[in-house]
Chain A
Amino acid sequence: MEKTPANIEIIEKYCKGCHICVEFCPTKVLEMKGFVASVKNLEACIKCMQCELRCPDFAIKVS
């Protein structure tokens, strides 16, 4: 994995609040804030891309 810190963009107007990204993130980076997903612990992100791959709504971009 790259050492540079991750940048996680959540497009709130696309997020439908399904929880998939929060549940399956291996390092528990994300949480639900009200209706939409949000970043709680960016430092823990290992850029595995699982959240971006599984988001059914094109609402998460990890770079």
Chain B
Amino acid sequence: MAFDYDKYIRPGKLPHIWCPGCGHGIVMKGLIRAIDTLGLQKDNTAIVSGIGCASRLPGYMDFCTLHTAHGRAAAFATGVKMAKPEMNVILVGGDGDGTAIGGNHFIHACRRNIDMTYIIMNNNIYGMTGGQFSPCTPTGAKASTTVYGNPDPAFDVAKLAIGAGATFVARGTAYHATQIDKLIAEAIQHKGFSVVEILDDCPTTYGRRNKFKSVIEMMNRLKDIAVPVKAAEKMTAEQLEGKILTGVLYKEERPNYTDEYAKVIERAKK
């Protein structure tokens, strides 16, 4: 049976603004299916974003939504979660918004282990603002501000999240659509700060500059580089060259910020 996405989308909002073949729509559908699987209620679920193409996502979702300042999704979302700890708080955004402009907010949300889920759509570039390179642009790749090739190494978003203290970290791709909802659902269920990085495609500002002939070529690349963590265990370092691990990469139980803060309030009252 066809999945009924319409009941979660604000009436009259489609078609969305994303370019032909942009993976953000695939990720949004995955998020909707995850929400449906978990039975999250619209008035008890906040979807928060910063600025950028990916950050337009909450505008389509018929939930409590906040479209905030560039890089500040984590700051606003933290406010929502502290005011209403019982709410499900989901952050969405791109790699530029999340790891550069909002990099500081991102690492500290990880460190605090505040019970929210952050979906980072990593398409290796700033799409909306004109194709500038981001901390996730691969070395050598072209952007509007690295026309001779990017000299910087790229962040590994998942490793960054783990290093900063996130207690659930997963990675998927826009090509592997069936996996997206499962990873997001598991992340939402996790008690603590969870990060789901989705390797995404931006045909308009990244693909064209980097000699991808079509959206299909970009999708095939995602298909080729992804290796599930389980499969990787049986592979040699040589076989894993140039590949990126997908699936649940890290999980631990640790006290989360809202619970700890509730204890602070109790202590202060004594």
Minimum Cβ distance to chain B for residue A47 (Å): 9
Chain B interface SS verdict (over half): loop
User: Do residues A18 and B2 form an inter-chain contact, with CB atoms below 8 A?
Assistant: no
Enumerate chain B residues within 8 angstroms of A54, measured Cβ to Cβ.
Answer: 26, 175, 177
Which chain B positions have C-beta within 8 A of A9?
2
How far is the CB of B115 from the nearest CB of chain A, in Å?
29
Q: Chain B 226-242, CB within 8 Å of chain A: the 1/0 string?
A: 00000000000000000
Q: Is the pair B215, A19 in contact by a Cβ cutoff of 8 Å?
A: yes
B216 touches A19 (CB 8 A): yes
Decide if A56 touches B14 in the complex (CB within 8 Å).
Answer: no
Indicate if the CB atoms of B2 and A56 lie closer than 8 Å: no
Give B12-44 as 1s and 0s: 1 = Cβ < 8 Å from A's Cβ atoms.
Answer: 001110111111111001000000000000000
Contact size range, A: 20 to 34
Determine the residue in chain A with the shortest Cβ distance to B25: A56
Q: Is B212 an interface residue (CB 8 A)?
A: no
**Closest CB in chain A relative to B10 CB, distance in Å:** 13
Query: How would residues 41 to 63 of chain A score, 1 for a CB under 8 Å from any chain B CB and 0 otherwise?
Result: 00000000010111111100111
B contact residues, total (Cβ < 8 Å): 26
B5 at the interface (CB under 8 A from A): yes
Contact B178 A63 (CB under 8 A): no
Contacts of B219 in A (CB 8 A): 20, 23-24
User: Min CB distance, A33 to chain B, in Å?
Assistant: 16
Chain B residues, CB < 8 A from A24: 219
Taking a contact as CB atoms under 8 Å apart, the answer to whether B2 and A63 are in contact is yes
Does A16 sit at the interface, judged by CB under 8 A?
yes
Name 26 A/B residue pairs within 8 A (Cβ), A-sorted. A13-B15, A16-B20, A18-B21, A19-B214, A19-B215, A20-B21, A20-B219, A23-B216, A53-B178, A54-B26, A54-B175, A56-B24, A56-B25, A56-B29, A56-B174, A57-B14, A57-B18, A58-B5, A58-B9, A58-B14, A58-B15, A58-B16, A58-B29, A61-B2, A63-B1, A63-B2
